[in-house]
Amino acid sequence: MHFLQIVYADPQNLKDTFELKFQLLDSSIVRRWVDCLQRAQSAYQIDDPGRFYGFGSIENQTQDSIRKINNCIDIINSDQLIIDRYLGSVDDQDTLNYLHHIFEIYHGLLDQQNHEFWIKASLSVRKALADLNVLVHRCESVHRSGNPRHVVTYYGLPKTQTLHEDDYNYFTDNYQFGSVYLNYVEIGKTLEDLAIDNDQYIEDTAFQPFRHFSADFNVKFWDENPTLIDIKHAKIKEYYDNREKFFNERNLYWGHPWLKSGSIPVAKLETNISRDELLNNIDKRQWIKEVNLI
């Protein structure tokens, strides 16, 4: 196996497809990720084949995201009133931070889903709580850039694999058009997320470094701006410095691998068509019909 193949489809007509091929990179972490993907495909389904970001008009993305997140709030509160506000704008980062905090508390950490609310909740309420997390990130994506990408996740897949120390050498936030990256699977936020969100809800339940990985991945269809990377790094350092005591108490000194920003690339796009044509094809087919290793 040398390639990851993704088959995109029109959700209204699954016979209308478009395929892309990505060459797998050569590293230990990529080989372990491929093993995870093979196991996932043998026993799990992609839980949200339509998880696309940055396609379509910003206005439609904005309205759709706000409508869906407030619907989740209604479903959750129908079981028990635990959320005391709605989202009125994707620019309202404080409310998005608050809603993510609600998700962290009531859903529980990656291996600690033991909150009484979660245990007693119906399946529809549990799904709404899980969707709340996804929709928070969708709103943030719309607000910040609207850069096109999509995420492939396998719901229920155990997140038991952890990164090795050497794996952190592959981390990058210099994202490249058409590259495939490991997805963050922790319940919480990295230092990068906390800094970018200016999240004031920092505590053990909020801060979770990028340690686990699974078959889950995302594909980015843009090139990161080096100037914006520098600005982001400065913001991360400022956030860390303002809360240095919190991190030092956890033996996370500045420069610790667990504090790295970005993710690990696992594959890169191979195609002869133009970027505009590629994005236009995906825009018309925002549904993951198949993921194959070939």
Residue 84 placed within a domain:
yes
What is the pLDDT at residue 156? 80
User: What percent of the chain has a predicted confidence (pLDDT) above 90?
Assistant: 68
Residue 22 placed within a domain:
no
Q: Would you tell me how many other CB atoms lie within 10 Å of the CB of residue 1?
A: 11
**DSSP 3-state of 202:** coil
- Type of residue numbered 230: D
Cα 10 off chain centre by: 23
What is the pLDDT at residue 56? 78
The mean predicted confidence, pLDDT, of the chain is 91
What is the pLDDT at residue 140? 82
Domain count, the chain: 1
Residue 116 placed within a domain:
yes
Q: How confident is the model at residue 43 (pLDDT cuts 50, 70, 90)?
A: very high
- Type of residue numbered 85: R
Residue 115 placed within a domain:
yes
Residue 72 placed within a domain:
yes
Residue 88 placed within a domain:
yes
69 and 132 Cβ atoms separated by less than 8 Å: yes
140: domain range?
57-147
202 and 220 Cβ atoms separated by less than 8 Å: no
Please indicate whether residue 198 or residue 177 has the higher confidence score (pLDDT). 177
In this model, does residue 181 exceed pLDDT 70?
A: yes
| Stated pTM of the model | 0.86
For 177-198, letters b (16+ CB in 10 Å) and e give bbbbbbbbbbbbbbbbbbbbbe
How many CA atoms within 13 Å lie on the side-chain side of 77?
A: 13
Residue 66 placed within a domain:
yes
Question: 151-170: per-residue pLDDT in tens?
Answer: 999 978 888 899 999 999 99
Q: How confident is the model at residue 284 (pLDDT cuts 50, 70, 90)?
A: very high
What is the pLDDT at residue 211? 96
Distance between CA atoms of residues 97 and 291, nearest Å? 32
Q: What tokens appear for 118 in the block? A: 């979660």
The answer to which of 14-28, 74-88, 108-122 has the lowest mean pLDDT is 108-122
Residue 43 placed within a domain:
no
Highest mean predicted confidence (pLDDT) among 34-43, 119-128, 135-144, 188-197: 34-43
What is the pLDDT at residue 41? 93
In this model, does residue 98 exceed pLDDT 80?
A: yes
Locate tokens 């843009």: which residue? Answer: 222
